[in-house]
Structure 1
């Protein structure tokens, strides 16, 4: 484990490793051609050697002091004595910054706050910003730190990006802290402030300066950077936005986690207790990997939306949700693990009012694999009495005693390729021995747990419950026979050809997205009709995806792929030697 991060997960290597043919690729890249991505501080020093003024901006979690040290050594080796300036000198006091952040941190709520409604510039003293001026006598002036471009210097703009998973690994290692603060805190406390304040401010700032970035640096390997020119980055993003892409997935152990991912996905550490999640497409935390000469560079997914969001999701969707990519896919693995908590998600208006979210969590469970004894908990027994249920939950929590789950909650046999519908306010849980492909709208942390089977988190402490919030959102009329009729999807054949079929897996009326499934032996042509499509190969070893723009990408079993709305059309070509199935999610 590297000293700057606390995790069992591998650090992204500089060079793309060879992937086993036909296997899930944990480092999916888009190849830019030769000469686009450079490696190391010496090459960066060469690039800026003739500049008089350089601004180095970047994301929270970047180790700016180490970056400065490494780059300065390379500049000195070239005979350049740069004068360095630190943007932190213009920050308001920590007390003032904490006062600004406090209304959005949810008080003593351990998980939830509300998205901040101010800007990064509000953390800085305007007068102090003006005082930071380059020395006209110096051979080179370099201004560095989060928000450095706010000083208004004219010169080469370098931006250092950092993936959200690596930010969390560094927080767990205790080597970084929240924006504008001087002390580290418990990882979960820091995460809440990252999510509701720091990431919000820095994303707005990144969007504002993205067109002006001259050099993009991947900062997750502090002493082994990769970088590319801003104009080539923006062109690469535009290509993805008119064709398609995979994001880089990442994986996490959890209290209820299972063994399916460990057994089926190569290239991951095996010395972990389990894998509970695969962040297949949870774009607030995923990145996009570019490749050139085998060198890899990762940028955050939101860069794609900032550069060409309308092309990615289509005009109608962009007009409604802006830069918020609306669909997510992730895996919940509890094969030989534990039950997921009994939970629900907020209704849309509740999520907007309380958390500042444009969307809420409108979920479905697509069962990719399961054992014979697996069940899905979904909806209430016909006899449910809300007050009695709440009292039982409260007693279980206070006395740490088991809840009589089957007295209140329905369980349904899990069936491979079955789709279980979980609109907001629906009680649900995945029983053990399922691998669930969770198809949902994008928000992903707003889970109100009511009962956690008396399980402990990996740190040995109980996970927080949210019984009150759950009771404010549950629909108690989702019970009995109504659940089987309305919350378990009943597939219907839409179209068929010589060797292919298109099935509709209807979602609930409260879902803003829909689900189709293609079954085919050779190939099938699909039109986007102005919408973004999210695909997953749920049966078969591999297919080839070919867009009208000429981009060709192999998709392996269980991998997720996004077709941009602007692609127009694409072709799915079977390479498995047997019938394959592809699930497609899209906004209604």
Structure 2
């Protein structure tokens, strides 16, 4: 059996032997579906029926032995050497002679790769890079790839490693994958590195390179081979894996893309983090100092769980978009392509601290500087809060931009506190309030809130101006980005205009005998809208060709029934999706009292849609 307690990084982010292979307070996904208490489910799995998911290298080796040639491709961070050793031992025991071919042998050298990616990663220590235009082929020596040829004197020839499909062998293709949170945990431990490099760096540098280079390149490669894959494998456990035949996975993805589904959330501590999630969500590690946020549904980083015979299999969300984006996105599919445009996440400041005073880039700025398609327009929905909690939003009437910048720079240089409310308004927060944060707006969530952040998908482009003089959990100051911020701040969002334009005023738009539909208008810059359904028993709606992202924000549980007639139960604070292809849905209140469900969806039309659509065609 593999020793997954010890690893070091090698060229493709695989690993050999050192002390720790995973650095996180979050538990590893159980191999089999555990029994969990009622309430919020941290392991939401979609059933596939019996016999669909297999576990262990023995079963995979048995499948592979039936083919004279096999390709094993996969993501960076996969422990390639351990996978090869496990399979090789089984083949040897069974007397099957295997010729192994390694894609690492065809990679360009580390110095060449580092030079290749340098234009997209910015200076060392910079917070952001630029989305790459590279392709996976650029990381390889084409002649060396072409030289990888089968040796027919062996029973089986296997090409293994990231990029195996680039050899163009006419052979069954296995794809090894893992969720992005586990990849990051391996990076933190020094057990995984970036694509094409032998060295590890600070976690922040590796994440930046992953976000702007590795994930872009490897996701494009995934999309190009999606229909060629014979077997998908989940390699997050290290010692073992689960796997599924592609036809069964595609059928499962097709089913949930016409019904309803939920992604697997994951949780992180942070400088300003709070205690609400630890107290209200069963199964979270109580030894964590705090939990700052939950990735409820941030598509670039969440996975989707499937279950068969209690075995669990997790696949990164992007596979749903590669295989079923039209069913999920409906009439907006051609606009956004494989990008999922809306995210939900929790910001937990209960018994914690304020978020930094910050803003986000304009559409033009994020495209020119960072290569993103669209920008980070946000809202704060207050799911829960203590009395006296607040949100910082918009400038005071008499804001002097030059004075504000000077005081921020002085604070950064001399570690002096800033009387923020002299410059930024603080608004009382109440449950179910919706604060609007279009790009360029100064804002922060104050302490003692549980914020549901409903936003456009980009999620790392936060320009911090003031961070209350605190240190990060690593004991180091967090980056301050005053220059970036002042190139994007809109100082006309001040005074009474903030109350009028940036705090949503709910309007009742439909009602029945025991239900109401409230519109929570967003800002004109937001390309998505928000509504709240309040019901006593049940209510039905059409999707109208749109994808809906929902959360139960008051009540104990609701069921969703779509065209197939099956009911899917969701608990308080769980995020779930109703794809456009579901066509219509019924919400059924399963608890006492009134259930309140927030839903976000794309607007009928928006000026940014034409810009994004143009990007998809060039």
How is 1:460-499 mapped onto 2 (pairs within 5 angstroms)? 460-499=475-514
Answer yes or no: is 1:454 the counterpart of 2:469. yes
What SS does the corresponding residue of 1:244 show, helix, strand or coil? coil
Q: Shift of residue 107 of structure 1?
A: 2.0
1:135 pairs with 2:130: no
Counterpart secondary structure, 2:487 = helix
1:535 shift after superposition: 0.3
The structure 2 residue matched to 1:441, chosen from 435, 456, 467, is 456
Contact residue 124 and residue 205 of structure 2 kept, 8 A: no
CA contact (8 A) 1:321 1:358 kept: no
* 1:578 corresponds to 2:593: yes
In the alignment, which residue of structure 1 is the partner of 2:368? 353
1:152 aligns with 2:164: no
1:246-287 Cα distance to aligned partner (Å, 9 max, x none): 000000000000000000000111111000010000010000
Q: Which among 19, 34, 37 is matched to residue 20 of structure 1?
A: 37
- The reply on whether 1:325 has 2:352 as its aligned counterpart is no
Partner of 1:95: 111
Q: Aligned-pair distance for 1:110?
A: 2.4
Q: Which moved further from structure 2: 58-67 or 72-81?
A: 72-81
Gaps of 5+ in 1: none
Name the CA distance, whole Å, in 1 between partners of 2:258 and 2:343. 19
CA–CA distance in 2 between the matches of 1:131 and 1:266? Answer: 53
| 2:536 corresponding residue in structure 1 | 521
Distance (whole Å) between structure 2 residues aligned to residue 493 and residue 303 of structure 1: 38
Q: Are 1:254 and 2:278 matched, yes or no?
A: no
Q: Does 1:342 align with 2:357?
A: yes
- Change in Cα spacing, 1:103 to 1:564, as seen in structure 2 (3 Å) is same
Paired residues, number: 586
Q: Is the 8 A contact 1:81 1:139 kept in 2?
A: yes
Residue equivalent to 1:5 = 22
1:301-450 equivalences under 5 Å are: 301-315=317-331, 317-450=332-465
SS at match of 1:283: coil
Q: 1:198 aligns with which of 193, 199, 214?
A: 214
Q: Distance in 2 between matches of 1:481 and 1:266?
A: 42
Give distance in 1, aligned partners of 2:254 and 2:581: 10
Q: Could you tell me how far 1:449 is from its partner in structure 2?
A: 0.4
What are the within-5 Å matches in structure 2 for residues 33-182 of structure 1? 33-108=49-124, 110-182=126-198
- The offset of 1:184, in angstroms, is 1.0
Q: Does residue 269 of the first structure (1) align with residue 302 of the second (2)?
A: no
Q: Provide the TM-score with structure 2 as the length reference.
A: 0.94
Alignment partners' CA distance in 2, 1:8 and 1:234:
33
Q: Distance in 2 between matches of 1:99 and 1:378?
A: 42
Q: Deviations over 1:301-337 (max 9, x none)?
A: 000000011111113x222221110000000001000
Shift of residue 493, structure 1, vs aligned partner: 0.3
Asked whether 1:561 is paired with 2:576, we answer yes
Offset of 1:172 from its aligned partner?
0.7
Q: 1:533-548 alignment to 2 at 5 Å?
A: 533-548=548-563
Instruction: Please report the TM-score for the alignment, with normalisation by the length of structure 1.
Output: 0.99
1:549 shift after superposition: 2.9
Deviations 1:493-530 (A, max 9, x none): 00100000000000001110000000010001011100
**CA drift at 1:122:** 0.9
For 2:168 and 2:83, how far apart are their aligned partners in 1?
21
SS in 2 for 1:314: helix
Q: Secondary structure at the match of 2:154?
A: coil
Distance 2:177 2:93 in 1: 26
Q: 1:281 aligns with which of 275, 284, 297?
A: 297
Give the Å deviation of 1:109: 5.0
| Cα distance in structure 2, aligned partners of 1:109 and 1:245 | 39
What displacement does 1:175 show? 1.3
Q: Distance in 1 between matches of 2:501 and 2:519?
A: 15
Shift, 1:223, TM fit: 1.3
Deviations 1:331-365, CA, capped at 9 Å, x for gaps: 00010001100000111111111111112111000
Deviations 1:64-106 (A, max 9, x none): 0001111111222222121111011111122221121011112
Kept in 2: contact 1:168–1:191 (CA 8 A): yes
Secondary structure in 2 aligned to 1:251?
Answer: strand
Deviation at 1:119, TM superposition (A): 0.5
* CA-based RMSD: 1.0
| Aligned equivalents of 2:177, 2:127: Cα separation in 1 | 25
Following TM superposition, the consecutive aligned residue runs of length 4 or more in structure 1 with deviations greater than 6 angstroms are none
Map Cα deviations across residues 196-222 of structure 1 (whole Å, 9 max, x no partner): 000100000011111111111001011
- SS at 1:231 equivalent: helix
CA distance in 2, matches of 1:50, 1:168: 35
Distance in 2, Cα, partners of 1:388 & 1:482: 21
Structure 2: state its 5+ residue gaps: 6-19, 604-618
